[in-house]
Structure 1
Amino acid sequence: WIREFSHNNQEIMKLVDQVQFNPDQAIKWGISLLGNGAGNMMNITMSAVGSIVSGLAAFFVAFSFACYVLFQKETLQVQIRKVFFAFLPKEKADAFLKVCSLTYQTFANFLTGQCLEAVILGCMFVVILSILRMPYALLIGVLIAFTALIPIFGAFIGCAVGSFLIFMVNPKQAILFIIVFLVLQQIEGNLIYPHVVGESVGLPSIWVLAAVTIGGNLMGIIGMLVFIPLLSVFYTIFREFVYLHLKKKHIKQVTKTEIEEDTAEEMVNSEIPEVK
């Protein structure tokens, strides 16, 4: 079409004739472009290789150090306790070791429960998607299991990626996958998560959301995982501190059950008519 259009168009033919083409200049320009591109590509490649090598070296050093710590944890525990009791008063040393024990229990329970819950959720997706004969059932199940390690928002990331993969094959099945995800998410959030993770962290839901938001803004995904048990430790310590001061002032601690009972009693009394 271009050939036929330009054949009878005299203005275009004149413009083509006026263009001066210098082969030597074009070759020089191509060589310089290739040279700059090759140099940039070499720099990028070397920096990427250096980052990978340094990351692997740091991983193996950290893994070796962690293994040494685990092999000698009893000896290290005794040594650390001796140092604290040698340089700190007995009450402060006991309080500090109590905080360390609380931190260990909170982190261990949270990570163990979170990993177990993610594995259960991933297996549920693999089984259900395989029964419904959806594509990429195993891949999506593993993906959701990994993203479920991120509290609150993680599973929805896996849902977005999984629905996109299924949409590329069959758009109707992508809609069905979203419905299945919402159903399984409700089952996981109301039945599985409370029993598997339970009250191991001991943190109200609003503070879990705050910990996820702050940790994600500061440290990304690692911050989301770390800040929940960390905030739980501070929450537990502060709660004990408040209860201790209330006890010193001889103020009764009002529990949630007592508040609900008092509220129910007030509602019943308000419904009973006054007898004259």
Structure 2
Amino acid sequence: MSFINRNFKVFLKYALCIAAIILIIIRMDRVVSWVGNFWSIIFPLVLGCLIAYALNIIMKFLEKNWFPDSANPVLRRCKRGICLFLSIFMIIGALLLIIRIVVPELMDAFAVIGDEIPVYFEKVQEWVVKNGEMFPTVAESIGEMKINWQELFQKIVSYATSGVTSMLNSAVIFVTKLLGSVVNISIALIFAIYILLNKEKLKSQAVTLENVYLKSSFIRQVNKVVYTAHSCFTSFISGQCVEAVILGILCTVGMFILRFPYAPMVGTFIGATALIPMVGAYIGAVVGAFMIFTVSPIKALGFIVFIVVLQQLEGNLIYPKVVGASIGLPGMWVLTAVTIGGGLGGIPGMLIGVPLAATIYRLIRQDVKERLEKDHKKIYQRSRI
């Protein structure tokens, strides 16, 4: 009878699973809608966990090096709050510094471009007309072109004025989304502060839940994955930040030595974009070359050569030593992780892809090593027999 009851329970469990899968397939539109609504609800909390994880790296460093264990009870109670405040202040200060350096220079560059476009077009038009024998059809067409830039700008203004209603609607939508983002970030930051102030208690509760509801063998596997992922992500974030600072400083100093314009802005921007693995510095280099081009095309070409040389130095010396060694992932798999992560999730996918690939790589390597050791032990035992 017990055998029949056990088989019936197994059958019932599988039947319920199959029914649930069929129901999900039939109501896929509803399921997608529910998942979307649920994600929008929990997104601030997930974002808070990510912020807490990033802040915890800085906070642990401050607690270990700036505020070591003290016998003073007041200092022991205040240490966590002070280190947490300093961590938030350092990140916000770095973001404001980047914005303060980059945005004004970027606006000035776009203003220069707006002033120079008519001049460049007139020069090109004059050169084509002067050398019309090389391509007569193009020269005739361009020579007949009479562009009144003032009239063109007036038409743009009239189009903008006629679309005031749609612009206002778009502005309302933008403000609503902006307020929603501010609210989500505020909730996430508050949630992150709560997590960091009570992280030891939360860890103890998680361990208790593991011991109560999970088997010991499963707990060991879960903890192994969690600790490996934590090690890879922490090493990646720390190494990537150090590498970005080094690259930004080298770029700024090199641009000052070679007398390129916009040295502080371009160096800071390249350092910030270098947080994106492998391709980030090239993104910053494109913006930098574009801005230098507005001053001098020759210097822009020289800047591109300088960035290529600097990237070779960074890719072959700095990145393997600072980031590659810390996460233990070969360069081929770093490129693979960046490509797949970027294709699936854009820039966030690139940032998550490398440490995630490093975690999988390290787990597989450990498993292969353990299996080989077991096989060697079996072979040794058989040889002794």
2:302 to 176, 181, 187: 176
2:244 to 118, 126, 151: 118
- 1:232-270 CA-to-partner distances (Å, cap 9, x unmatched) read 111111222222222333289xxxxxxxxxxxxxxxxxx
2:172 to 43, 46, 64: 46
Write the distance in 1 (CA, Å) between the matches of 2:325 and 2:275. Answer: 17
SS at match of 2:326: coil
**How far off its partner does 1:101 sit?**
1.3
Distance 1:34 1:193, change over 3 A: closer
Q: TM-score, normalised by structure 2?
A: 0.54
Q: TM-score, normalised by structure 1?
A: 0.75
**How far off its partner does 1:130 sit?**
1.5
* 1:150 match: 276
Tell me which structure has the larger Cα radius of gyration.
Answer: 1
Write the distance in 1 (CA, Å) between the matches of 2:300 and 2:163. Answer: 42
Write the distance in 1 (CA, Å) between the matches of 2:201 and 2:267. Answer: 42
* 1:141 match: 267
2:189 to 63, 80, 84: 63
* 2:366 match: 240
Find out whether 1:130 has 2:265 as its counterpart: no
Distance 1:122 1:135, change over 3 A: same
* 1:186 match: 312
Write the distance in 2 (CA, Å) between the matches of 1:243 and 1:131. Answer: 50
Alignment of 1:186-265 (within 5 A): 186-250=312-376
- Asked whether the equivalents of residues 289 and 300 of structure 2 are also in contact (C-alpha less than 8 Å), the reply is yes
* Percent of residue pairs identical: 44
**How far off its partner does 1:83 sit?**
0.6
**How far off its partner does 1:63 sit?**
1.1
Higher fraction of helix: 2
Distance 1:36 1:183, change over 3 A: closer
Write the distance in 2 (CA, Å) between the matches of 1:168 and 1:37. Answer: 32
SS at match of 1:200: helix
SS at match of 1:203: coil
Task: List gaps (5 residues or longer) in structure 1.
Answer: 1-32, 253-276
Write the distance in 2 (CA, Å) between the matches of 1:237 and 1:60. Answer: 36
Write the distance in 1 (CA, Å) between the matches of 2:355 and 2:186. Answer: 26
One-letter identity of the residue aligned with 1:61:
I
Alignment of 1:12-51 (within 5 A): 37-51=163-177
* 2:381 match: none
Task: List gaps (5 residues or longer) in structure 2.
Answer: 1-158, 379-385
**How far off its partner does 1:115 sit?**
0.8
Alignment of 1:155-170 (within 5 A): 155-170=281-296
* 1:28 match: none
**How far off its partner does 1:34 sit?**
9.0
